[in-house]
Amino acid sequence: MKKNTLSEIGEFGFIDWINKEIHTDASVLKGIGDDAAILRSPGVKKRQLLTTDMLIENRHFNLKDATGYEIGRKALAVNISDIAAMGGIPTQAVIAVGAPANMPLVFLKEIYRGLKAIAKEFKINIVGGDTNRSDKLVLSATLLGEVEPTHAVGRDGAKKGDVIFVTGALGGSYRSGRHLNFTPRIAESRYLVENFKVSAMMDISDGLSSDIRRLTEASGTGAYLCAEAIPVSKDAKGLSAALEEGEDFELLFTLSPRQAAKLTLDAKRRALAFFSPVGRIVAKKEGVKLFKGSGSVENLLERGFDHFSR
């Protein structure tokens, strides 16, 4: 049956279509399909990273529940999380704002106070942007970053036998307000790429059940997850919330068994978010499955967040 609308094809189906339509030159090392693009510039040793994200009123935040400061901070934080997922360091940003003409100026100033605060925290320059009139508040940030060629990592390098890890705890992000106040995992990412051979990495924005599929599809593998090993946030209503809710902005990454053992024994990680082994990479034909302590095994359904399905 032919799919004629965005709700029928879904967010990721639409992205796949765009990817097939877009063609790039040799300066693009990684393009559509990762958390950020990896770009090569002549004469520049480090690779450039480029990412963008958009926040829309009543979709990503509600003005009754979020302050201007929180909205501004999140607009840049989600992009910083993308740079972390590639192993990089954020550098320069441009911010576009669409706002109703009757929006109080004091609220807009609070948005920029949030933007400036997180930019200062991560040493990012805000170098420009755009403003326009809009029926609802819309913020779009585009962020540049950089990464050493030896440290750059994408979603496509996981190999059979690799151990799957996540940082922090998952689920309950909306209930706790963490979706507005999370800390992008730049420190954890840099610790990993500087000390270990990370085979694949991405951030968890749409929920573990969806994002593990993004990683395995890119890598041409399957995955086995252990239900009891998944770190469920105290704010989450059970394992399903940790798997499906999204907006966690933690890291999902894979290491070889030897590198995984090295990570668990490394004392230097104590000042960082905790790293939890949650499963292993298997052959593609094995699919993506969830194992439970009771002995039951089930196919892990793709129930994470999709912008066009709800």
Q: Residues 6-52: pLDDT tens digits? A: 776 666 676 676 667 677 788 889 888 889 999 998 888 999 999 99
> What is the number of other CB atoms lying within 10 angstroms of the CB of residue 304?
22
pLDDT above 70: residue 261: yes
pTM over 0.85, yes/no: yes
Three-state DSSP at 150 gives coil
Domain boundaries defined on the chain: 1-33, 46-147, 163-299
Distance CA 171, CA 248 (A): 7
Nearest to 48 by CA among 149, 159, 160: 149
Using the Cα atoms of residue 70, residue 72, residue 78 and residue 81 in order, give the sign of their dihedral: negative
Distances (CA, A) of 215 to 52, 78, 132, 306: 20, 19, 36, 16
Q: In the prediction, which pLDDT does 307 show? A: 45
Write the pLDDT tens digit of every residue in 173-231. 999 999 999 999 999 999 999 999 999 999 999 999 999 999 999 999 999 999 999 99
Query: Domain 46-147 belongs to what architecture?
Result: 2-Layer Sandwich (3.30)
The model's pLDDT over 277-297, given as tens digits with 9 standing for 90+, comes to 999 999 999 999 999 988 889
Rounded-to-integer distance, Cα 155 and Cα 216, Å:
8
Mean pLDDT over each residue of the chain, to the nearest integer: 91
- Per-residue pLDDT band for 306 (boundaries 50, 70, 90) equals very low
Compute the distance between CA of residue 227 and CA of residue 161 in angstroms, rounded to an integer: 18
Q: Which CATH class is domain 163-299?
A: alpha beta
List the single range of 15-19, 78-82, 91-95 with lowest mean pLDDT. 15-19
pLDDT tens across 102-130, in order? 999 999 999 999 999 999 999 999 999 99
Tens digits of residue pLDDT in 207-220: 999 999 999 999 99
Element housing 263 (H / E): helix 257-265
Angle at 301 between CA 240 and CA 216, to 5 degrees: 110
